[in-house]
């Protein structure tokens, strides 16, 4: 702590609202409907499962490693 700074140098405010987060969603968990799916490029299967678990408030999801166009990808389906 700077010796020239006194304890009263910092103003404490009341009733200042916390602004909303403006972070854009990386994955469409909040907008995907039951029966729809999306690919998670560059994500390992275990990581995809963990990500889906953190978003279970939006619904129930299934994760599979599937072959598409000769390549394996991680695909997520909303099942409920």
- pTM of the complete model beyond 0.85: no
Q: Is residue 4 predicted with pLDDT exceeding 60?
A: no
Plot region of 42 (φ>0 → left; ψ -120 to 50 → alpha; else → beta): left
Q: Is residue 46 part of a domain?
A: yes
List pLDDT tens digits, range 5-63: 556 688 899 999 998 877 778 999 999 999 999 999 999 999 999 999 999 999 999 99
Tally the domains of the chain.
1
Q: By residue range, what is the domain housing residue 51?
A: 32-80
């Amino acid at each position: 702590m700077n010796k020239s700074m006194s304890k009263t140098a910092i103003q404490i405010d009341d009733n200042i609202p916390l602004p909303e987060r403006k972070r854009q969603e990386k994955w469409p968990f909040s907008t995907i409907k039951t029966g729809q799916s999306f690919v998670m490029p560059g994500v390992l299967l275990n990581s995809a499962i963990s990500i889906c678990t953190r978003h279970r408030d939006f619904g129930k999801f299934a994760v599979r490693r599937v072959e598409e166009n000769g390549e394996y990808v991680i695909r997520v389906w909303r099942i409920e």
